[in-house]
Structure 1
């Protein structure tokens, strides 16, 4: 009977397309992963991969074997993880992806309380503003907004993802009289460029009454990060369109204020993403429930809402 190590090496190599990447995910050497896969092929009597210097490609037999074992292997892994507990507590390494600034401001402060409640869990948290391949890269969960929902992944809404217009009080003293989006065409705009596409998105503004109006700001500068845009606006350089969570610390120290406070951009939701399993690992369930509990206790849903 095959051991878990050889089968997992095969599955992760198929997902990653290389022994080196599979080894990184499994904390093994590429040679060890290659040896596990070669041993599995020898015992099965079939070739599972076509090997080249650039990439691994599944053979027809490899594709069939992957389809048959991957789902069952995940169920077995989750069952083992749920049973491997210390006094009934979830255990294991919890691999989570989140945005750099959002994670530092709102998720990292939860770490001490989370680990105190679940001492058997080890945090492996990755900070990146790009969407990750949750299943392919072996993440237990991810937090973010505007992500495409791939097959096998579910999302739990944490808060609305609203963007708002902000400026330093001294900028508004010099450029007052802004009462409607039509008044923004001559203002100095600090615009956000997508780090994924490199383009500045054309956002429509929404009024509290759901009336919509185009956003026309004269581009003074572009940024790829809301935190950087807040810092530029704080210097009185213009009006920035930023995500509400990043603006809150500036509001608290009164260095930024909202411009056209009845208007905002609706950018969907901030959500918790995790793989859909019939038997969700205890560590993942504990994290999901804890974050939802803390967002509710701290009123972050309401604080992140621009309405």
Structure 2
């Protein structure tokens, strides 16, 4: 999952046909928009635009991404403002439940503009890895995956969870860099223990050509918490498959490195839940 600012820069550039036009729309500089799109391309490992001196044209990968995200770009912001739309001057508490990594990287950046627009609203945001009862616990909005959709709740897909392979420079220097998903069988794999099955999570990785590879190596380390897996990666303990949101900051700081950049796994939908009332 990529930062909302980078996705918005990509969508506006695709809609308007140039970084300059997108920059005017977003009240940014063309260089800032271009840099955001370049970071998004680096993170995904694909080119999204054919660049010319006059106009941008989407690549095939860019067309697929645009079709997937353009319509849902503002879904989260609409959900945040839905609870206050019936008042001219919103007041009260906005109680959210957010997965920690996703909340830190993607939702927290929208808090400042939200506070500026709704200064009398108290944000009460819970960063937690658990299933919440939205109505019984008094939450206005929850963002996550796999919540039970009980009566009175509505769910909207926000994005797909993007799973990538990551390691550290220290580990790769000592053990080498895997070139294919099959080579992960020869590496120290930090695996996620599924809370449902009690077994290591198995992933199907894909590349942009549509080729699939089942990743089910014998784990060297088995952990039940994503933050712990990310910490183990940063500590040079091996290779792990993790959501982009979980390792985005480490990738930007250089404390983690993406491996198999042409490959990814689909972690399913990331959903925003709210009351139907």
State if a TM-score over 0.5 links the two structures: yes
Interval of TM-score (by shorter of Structure 1 and Structure 2): 0.5 to 0.7
- How many angstroms does 1:113 deviate by? 2.3
Give the 5 Å matches for 1:202-281. 202-277=202-277
Scaled by the length of structure 2, the TM-score of the pair is 0.63
Once residues 144 and 109 of structure 2 are traced to their aligned partners in structure 1, the CA distance between those partners, rounded to angstroms, is 17
Once residues 104 and 172 of structure 1 are traced to their aligned partners in structure 2, the CA distance between those partners, rounded to angstroms, is 28
Scaled by the length of structure 1, the TM-score of the pair is 0.57
| Alpha-carbon contact 2:202-2:215 (below 8 Å) kept | yes
Larger Cα Rg: Structure 1 or Structure 2? 1
2:180 match: 180
- How many angstroms does 1:179 deviate by? 1.8
Once residues 182 and 119 of structure 1 are traced to their aligned partners in structure 2, the CA distance between those partners, rounded to angstroms, is 53
* Structure 1: gaps of 5 or more residues: 1-79, 278-307
Aligned length: 195
SS at match of 2:219: strand
Residues 177, 113 of structure 1: alpha-carbon distance in 2 compared, 3 angstrom cutoff: closer
Once residues 120 and 134 of structure 2 are traced to their aligned partners in structure 1, the CA distance between those partners, rounded to angstroms, is 23
Give the 5 Å matches for 1:10-25. none
| Alpha-carbon contact 2:195-2:224 (below 8 Å) kept | yes
1:114 match: 114
1:46 match: none
Once residues 194 and 163 of structure 2 are traced to their aligned partners in structure 1, the CA distance between those partners, rounded to angstroms, is 14
* Structure 2: gaps of 5 or more residues: 1-82
| Alpha-carbon contact 2:158-2:270 (below 8 Å) kept | yes
- How many angstroms does 1:124 deviate by? 2.0
Once residues 199 and 151 of structure 1 are traced to their aligned partners in structure 2, the CA distance between those partners, rounded to angstroms, is 32
SS at match of 1:101: helix
1:92 match: 92
| Alpha-carbon contact 2:177-2:259 (below 8 Å) kept | no
